[in-house]
Structure 1
Amino acid sequence: MGLKDFKISVSKENILHNYHYLKELRNKEIIAVVKANAYGHGIENIVKFLSANGCEYFAVARECEAEKILKLKIENINIIILETIDELNFIKNNENVQMVVNSFKDLLNLLEKNVSTDQLHLKLDFGFGRNGVVEEDFSKLKKLILEKNLRFKGLCTHVFAADYDDMIAIEERFSQILEEIGKERFQIIHMQNSAGVISIGGKNCTHIRCGTVLFGLQEIGYYDPCIKRAFNLVGKILGTKDLKDLKYIGYEKKENIDIGKYKKVAKIRLGYGDGFSKRSEGIMSIINNKKFKIVHISMDSSFILVDDSVKEGDIVEIFHDLEESIKHLKVPHYEFLSCINDRIKRELI
């Protein structure tokens, strides 16, 4: 890594540990959710690595994400697009690309347009209010499936991060509908999100759908001590300056910043142009095993109050304490990590 570079280091060992641990925990195969650039970890690197280690299913949100995976030219993998797409020729022309059916109306349209049901995953919505066939359409759905003797690639739902009783109720209702329609009509069955994987067994499911937890990002209230974090955002100090010689720190007048006891400021090459939000002003970085506050963020640079122990070229880590960062930013980790854009290199190590 050069003096000016920031990068996201992703631990292969920790991702592989999480992958095998989760498979053994639920005794099911994994659908790796790699939307939003694999939650900031780098979609191309993650897909290549996990497919080489046995993962056959990957889920994305958008067609453009599926296209990135297709360009890798990996054999024997399945790509599931979770959102409804309009360009149906993209599905028809790529046998290993599948899509989720997010409403009864969508299903009728897909059947009319002759999209193969071997490329479709029916999704049931039990009140999440985002995507899926709603309960008021379940009777019409069952009637259509039975009358036309339809068989699909998959059946799924989404166990959102609710309380445990809600998860159990959804699991039971999903199993009931599955029995009514017939398990034999679906090649794979999946329901859990990351919180659901930690919390419930996934009754009657063949696969677990893992996103953030696969990368070691755990939600408050759904913590497993065996899961290991893979993400590490690091760079180097470009240089330091004495505060007494400065009128401004970046674009901010020095007098408007609480500099406390500090006499120096360090500059790093990371800013909101890299997806590092100005809302991160005030969070702590780690330099030489000590915490130092980031006090100003501009488009291409940020500034950190430091002491005499910090020198040019020292390694600095951002978002070291994810819980602390979540409290400061008031958003979940998968939001601010996914925002780090492609100006920052991702590297599997």
Structure 2
Amino acid sequence: MGLKDFKVEVSKENILHNYQYLKKLRKKEIIAVVKANAYGHGIENIVSLLSKNGCEYFAVARECEAEKILKLNLKNINILILETIEDLNFLNQNRNVQMVINNFKELLFLLDNKVLTEQLHLKLDFGFGRNGIVEEDFIKLKKLILENDLKFKGICTHVFAADYEDMLIVERKFNEILLEVGKDRFEIIHMQNSAGVISIEGVGCTHIRCGTILFGLQEIGYYDPNIKRAFRLIGKVLDVKDLNNLKYIGYEKKEKLKLDENKKIAKVRLGYGDGFSKRGEGIVSIINNKKFKIVHISMDSSFILVDESVKEGDNIEIFYDLEDSIKYLKVPHYEFLSCINDRIERELI
């Protein structure tokens, strides 16, 4: 067997279904959030696919992610960087790159350095606590905008994923600010994240920001049955050994793992060196439509307790049941999927 036993298989059909469905649902253009390697789905493949199908806006967290998109040499796309850019020359050299302003001091700095406001999005923070211009600076912000007749590429905020009532409060306050300074000062207006796309209308907005939901990864409590999952982590069984003939499983003594006797151990070429955390020990995999527990994870390999039905070369899938994986790992799906690194190939099918 070759070196590429495992791969992340991504469904083009499901990605495009979600993209078209969400556009139609909210009657708005989409800013596709593709940070963290498109949440583990492969940033280059996803951006190329969506760009060919009409998506013109992509959001990332950092410059290094924007650089990956720029290297694709795609036409008619814009890249929005959600965090602060340290090298302002990056904006000057790439006019299709835009930046979110994350505090009032930063806004003043950018204006003093003659950064084009057509490359800037104001972000308002209504208590989310991550980034954005905070409410105590809103009076200064409104004064600055009105006295200098400033216009920006965009304005945005971020709604909370945990509380629907808070989402409505943010939506109301956001629109109050827009009315006070004038919506015509902003070409692009966006507030809904993936949970917000499902929950609220996004009154007054021109775009929706779709990250995890675009890939079929939905928040608990914010579920739409029309959204389709695109991600599969699949591979092959490298070999199978009789448990009775082994003293160690990887680096662990067999007795310490407390395994059943008269079983077999299957080895696969996937480990924490690939971003498959040791926290996954005990999680269930699927081989031949049967569930088998992963009992040990090393840097380059994992070991699975199997029965006589499993043979070398059989197909295996990890994270088959996302809800079960979330419960076991005690972290959201986008965390453990984003951790799978580039030693594992991403393939659009």
Specify the TM-score bucket, using the shorter chain as the normaliser. over 0.9
Residues in 1 aligned to 2:79 and 2:256: alpha-carbon distance in whole angstroms: 51
Matched residue, 1:255: 255
User: Does the alignment pair 1:336 with 2:336?
Assistant: yes
Q: Please show how residues 92-241 of structure 1 align to structure 2 within 5 Å.
A: 92-241=92-241
Residues in 2 aligned to 1:258 and 1:337: alpha-carbon distance in whole angstroms: 29
Q: Go from structure 1 to structure 2 and tell me whether the alpha carbon gap of 1:336 and 1:19 turns closer, same or farther (over 3 Å shift).
A: same
Does the 8 Å contact 1:26/1:201 carry over to 2? Answer: yes
Structure 1 residue 258 displacement after superposition? 2.6
Q: Go from structure 1 to structure 2 and tell me whether the alpha carbon gap of 1:194 and 1:258 turns closer, same or farther (over 3 Å shift).
A: same
Matched residue, 1:323: 323
Q: Report the residue type matching 1:226 in the other structure.
A: N
Structure 1 residue 260 displacement after superposition? 2.4
Matched residue, 2:31: 31
Normalised by the length of structure 1, the TM-score is 0.99
| Stretches of structure 1 lacking an aligned partner (at least 5 in a row) | none
Structure 1 residue 33 displacement after superposition? 0.2
Residues in 1 aligned to 2:300 and 2:35: alpha-carbon distance in whole angstroms: 26
Q: How many residues align?
A: 349
Matched residue, 1:68: 68
Q: What SS does the aligned partner of 1:265 have? A: strand
Structure 1 range deviating more: 1-10 or 174-183: 1-10
Residues in 2 aligned to 1:204 and 1:182: alpha-carbon distance in whole angstroms: 11
Normalised by the length of structure 2, the TM-score is 0.99
Residues in 2 aligned to 1:125 and 1:266: alpha-carbon distance in whole angstroms: 50
User: Does the alignment pair 1:55 with 2:39?
Assistant: no
Residues in 2 aligned to 1:38 and 1:120: alpha-carbon distance in whole angstroms: 23
Does the 8 Å contact 1:126/1:170 carry over to 2? Answer: yes
Instruction: Report runs of 4+ in structure 1 exceeding 4 Å deviation.
Output: 1-4
Does the 8 Å contact 2:244/2:262 carry over to 1? Answer: no
Q: Go from structure 1 to structure 2 and tell me whether the alpha carbon gap of 1:262 and 1:46 turns closer, same or farther (over 3 Å shift).
A: farther
Structure 1 residue 3 displacement after superposition? 7.1
Residues in 2 aligned to 1:248 and 1:62: alpha-carbon distance in whole angstroms: 43
Q: Go from structure 1 to structure 2 and tell me whether the alpha carbon gap of 1:64 and 1:262 turns closer, same or farther (over 3 Å shift).
A: farther
Q: Report the residue type matching 1:57 in the other structure.
A: Y
**Percentage of pairs with the same residue:** 79
Q: What SS does the aligned partner of 1:114 have? A: coil
Structure 1 residue 163 displacement after superposition? 1.1
CA offsets per residue over residues 295-333 of structure 1, 9 Å max, x none? 000000000000111001000000001111111111101
Does the 8 Å contact 1:3/1:237 carry over to 2? Answer: no
Structure 1 residue 85 displacement after superposition? 1.4
RMSD: 1.0
Matched residue, 2:6: 6
Q: Report the residue type matching 2:213 in the other structure.
A: V
CA offsets per residue over residues 57-87 of structure 1, 9 Å max, x none? 0000000000000000001100000001110
